[in-house]
Amino acid sequence: MRRVAVLNDYQRVALDSADWGAVDAAITVFDEHFTTTAEAIEALRGYEVLCLMRERLPITAELLDGLPDVRCIVTTGAANRAIDLEACARRGVIVSGTTNGLGRLATAELAWGLILAVARSIPQEDRRIREGRWQTTIGTTLRGLTLGIIGLGGVGRYVARYGNAFDMDVIAWSKNLTEERALESAVTAVSKEQLLERSDVISIHTVLSPETVGLIDADALSRMKPSATLVNTSRGPIVREADLVAALRDGTIAGAALDAFDVEPLAADHPYRTLENLVLSPHLGYVTRDVYAEFFTETVRSVAAYLDGEPIRVLAGPNAVTPAGAVVRQYEDVK
């Protein structure tokens, strides 16, 4: 029987989030995180279809070389930068994706939750009240403060809307942001330097790319107000970890909240775990029941179509075709 692997299902919810009855294959769920390519190859030999949860497992040329039976990869989300699409295309591996509409909304809501958590020291006060202590911090009122958004895309626009609802002064920057596009979200477009210097809260919602790796480094952090806070629900490498640790320890900025990290899951001895002025969440941006239902329902649809030889939306390769031979949408069309 043909074999399908559902990967990195940390919470073991994939099979309960959708009806997999249409998939005529043996399905195995892996809830562990593979720490090396060799470990992943050993576990996944013999599987024809891999179902990915976002970027939890990098699909590299080395991994594909060790898994010659893989013919189809289905990722949740409309794009997955952890997949080497060129390597997949060279090997004839079909890569399909799902939509990500609810995921953007869920991430924006989490970002706002983290903004409030930092402003009012909610995690710290929760811990202390359990220890028998009472009112150990003084919070910050958001009304009238400046919210700076880096990346006014699908998530950033929602965060801007929430900032306006809290009567904040909302500004935004990204490389290609225009004044007209900013005004559509009732936001003022500014330069990167102005955003860093003016913002009381900075929330990151840009994609990870060679241009954005290390975008927030020691220099950027030094330009921020000492009273400012930084929130990152996008991708870990956008913020240089060592520079943020130093800035939080030295009081260069007042606090931060992170939902994404360079390496996930976060190492047990990571210095982030020792910082009192840092709020951590384990990449929960898209982790809601509604989003999982959307992701896995569409995953099932794509896997079943592939196994039945029917057309599916493909994300890989300029000449990618479905099993039925029909040319389909390319990766660049669905970012």
Is 198 in the active site? no
As a three-state string, the secondary structure of 77-125 is: CCCCCCECHHHHHHCCCEEEECCCHHHHHHHHHHHHHHHHHHHCCHHHH
Mean pLDDT of 28-53: 96
Q: Where are the domains of the chain?
A: 3-100+289-334, 102-280
Confidence tier at 324 by pLDDT (50, 70, 90): very low
Catalytic residue among 240, 283, 301, 313: 283
Domain range 102-280, its CATH number among 3.50.50.60, 3.90.1150.10, 3.40.50.720, 3.90.25.10: 3.40.50.720
Catalytic residue among 62, 109, 241, 264: 264
Give pLDDT, residue 327: 30
For the cut 90, the answer to whether the pLDDT of residue 325 exceeds it is: no
The Cα-based distances of 132 to 121, 135, 173, 178, 278 in angstroms read 16, 10, 43, 51, 22
Give pLDDT, residue 99: 85
Alpha carbon 245 to its chain's center: 21
Do domains 3-100+289-334 and 102-280 share one topology? The answer is: yes
Give pLDDT, residue 323: 40
For the cut 60, the answer to whether the pLDDT of residue 312 exceeds it is: yes
Mean pLDDT of 106-127: 97
For the cut 90, the answer to whether the pLDDT of residue 330 exceeds it is: no
Look-up: residue for tokens 């003022």? 188
Is 235 in the active site? yes
Mean pLDDT of 286-299: 95
What is the spatial distance between Cα 280 and Cα 118, in angstroms, rounded to a whole number?
A: 10
Give pLDDT, residue 101: 80
Among 1-5, 250-254, 261-265, which is the least confidently predicted range?
Answer: 261-265
Q: pLDDT tens digits for 161-178?
A: 999 999 999 999 999 999
Tell me the Ramachandran region of residue 110: left when phi exceeds 0, alpha when psi lies from -120 to 50, beta otherwise: alpha
Give pLDDT, residue 78: 85
What is the spatial distance between Cα 152 and Cα 171, in angstroms, rounded to a whole number?
A: 10
pTM of the model: 0.88
What is the spatial distance between Cα 287 and Cα 3, in angstroms, rounded to a whole number?
A: 26
The architecture (CATH level 2) of 3-100+289-334 comes to 3-Layer(aba) Sandwich (3.40)
Catalytic residue among 104, 235, 240, 301: 235
For the cut 90, the answer to whether the pLDDT of residue 152 exceeds it is: yes
Is 81 in the active site? no
